[in-house]
Amino acid sequence: MAKHRGRGFSAIEYPTGMNQGGDPSQAWIKMKPDGRVDVFAGTVDIGQGSKTVHTQIVADTLGVPYDWVTMDNSNTDSSPLCTGTFASRGTFIGGNAVAVAAERVRERLLEIAARELEIDPSDLEVSDGEVRAKGAPDRKLGVGDVAAAATWTHGELITGSGAWMKPYSAPDPDTGECDPHAAISYAACVADVEVDDETGEVRVLKLIQVYDVGHAINPTLVEGQIEGGAMMGLGLGLLEATYPYYPALDHRGDQFGSYLAPSTKDLPEFDNVILEYPSSEGPFGAKAIGEMANNAQPAAICSAIYDAVGVWVTECPATPERVLRALERRSEPRREGKRIVFDEDLSVRSVSATGGEGFLAVDG
């Protein structure tokens, strides 16, 4: 009896947003008289960081510092509609909505600045909290000064709204071709494991994970998604069985403490790689990362178990019981398959072993 090490691979793809649209997001932005910015949107942040990313998108689009932007998604009565936080759509679809709204605010900001500077709006640019004349950086106004002029001189509110939804794509009646997804993300996972062939215990030693996220607007948040998702994938691959005898309800956990989930002692070594192949439709080229972050690990772990001890566990989680059962099946006596070759008169010409268990091949 011994512990064996193995390595397994998996690769996945994941769509961004709902197939064939139907999940719009909206946003509304206003600029206060001091140049600070309020963003109202309905995308709920449940820990994935959408509030931070949307704030970054607005700040970058408007050319103002990040800390000038306040995002309010706390009240569905006062916020524009968002279909929900699901389908890995928060950064892509919600982010597109705030980007559209911010671009319209930027247009209004430059219109007011053009009046103050007596320059055509197309000859102005905004960055670092200032509106400047292209090619003449000394001719400039602070964004706060422009917002104040809009309020106290021109009696106007600098505001903008935006929305985004993947349009419905009707399939071609002859070929079935259509464009159902906003974008596709890709990932690969390599799992290094150690398997005890006496107890059936599997320990994940290292996960190498590669994710194409289009463009990482906030790389730290992306890496957090990857590692948080990896721990969830570890649970799905080795521990978590809500209904272990599904569809029967036997032995299901009836208390939170009886539900097995990975903890910090199960944490493997991580090696994360972020690839950036921008989406043509995503905000700043971003694509999905959320849900897909826990999809690749179970398959890679099961492949690594096979590499370590030569048996396939075909049902997750790969519990010690299932690993031991697979090892027991491998050690059971096997019946050799037979290949029988007949002559034209149906007499047996030859009989040979096929090497397959219980397999009968007939030639003639």
The CATH number given to whatever domain includes residue 231 is 3.30.365.10
* Same domain, yes or no: 188 and 319: yes
Indicate if 193 and 279 belong to the same structural domain: yes
Residue 177 lies in a domain: no
One domain for residues 214 and 311 = yes
Catalytic residue among 125, 198, 291, 336: 291
Are 57 and 155 in the same domain? Answer: yes
- Helix or strand holding residue 323 (H, E): helix 320-331
Q: Which of 59, 143, 65, 151 is nearest to 101 (CA)?
A: 59
Query: Which residues, 6+ apart, have CB-to-CB distance to 296 below 8 Å?
Result: 10, 11, 12, 187, 188, 189, 209, 233
pLDDT at 196: 96
Does 358 lie in the same domain as 275? Answer: no
Same domain, 140 and 199: no
Same-domain check for residues 188 and 325: yes
According to DSSP, residue 332 is labeled S
Instruction: Tell whether 238 and 277 lie within a shared domain.
Output: yes
Span 259-274, average pLDDT: 92
Are 320 and 340 in the same domain?
no
173 inside domain: no
Q: Would residue 234 count as lying in a domain? A: yes
For residue 338, what pLDDT band results from cuts at 50, 70 and 90?
low
Is 8 part of any domain?
yes
Q: Which residue is associated with the tokens 């290949």?
A: 339
d(CA 267, CA 255): 24
pLDDT tens string 190-220: 999 999 999 999 999 999 999 999 999 999 9
pLDDT at 33: 97
Judge if 193 and 322 occupy the same domain.
yes
Give tens-digit pLDDT for 55-92.
Answer: 999 999 999 999 999 999 888 888 899 988 888 899 99
276 catalytic? Reply is no
Report the distance separating Cα 167 and Cα 221, nearest Å.
28
Within a domain: residue 178? no
SS3 322: helix
pLDDT of residue 351: 73
Q: Which residues contact 302 (CB under 8 A, 6 or more apart)?
A: 8, 237, 312, 313, 314, 316, 318
The pLDDT assigned to 348 comes to 72
Q: Is residue 78 part of a domain?
A: yes
Strand, helix or coil at 58? helix
| DSSP labels, 233-282 | HHHHHHT--SSTTTTS-TT---SGGGS----GGG--EEEEEEE----SSS
Is the same domain home to 10 and 47?
no
Looking at 131, 164, 197, the residue that finishes a domain is: 164
The count of structural domains within the chain is 3
- Using the 3D structure, point to which of 164, 197, 226 is the last residue of a domain: 164
Task: State residue 245's pLDDT score.
Answer: 78
- At residue 315, does pLDDT exceed 80? yes
Claim to verify: residue 209 and residue 279 sit in the same structural domain: yes
Q: Give yes or no for residue 185 having a pLDDT over 70.
A: yes
- d(CA 260, CA 203) in angstroms, rounded, equals 15
Kindly report the pTM of this predicted structure. Answer: 0.84
Enter the tokens of residue 170.
């009707």
Residue 172 lies in a domain: no
User: Which tens digits make up the pLDDT trace of 27-55?
Assistant: 999 999 999 999 999 998 988 899 999 99
Amino acid at 193: V
Residue 53 tokens, joined: 């990313």
How many residues belong to the chain? 364
Domain extent for 207: 3-15+183-329
CA distance 140 to 119: 11
> Is position 170 within any domain?
no
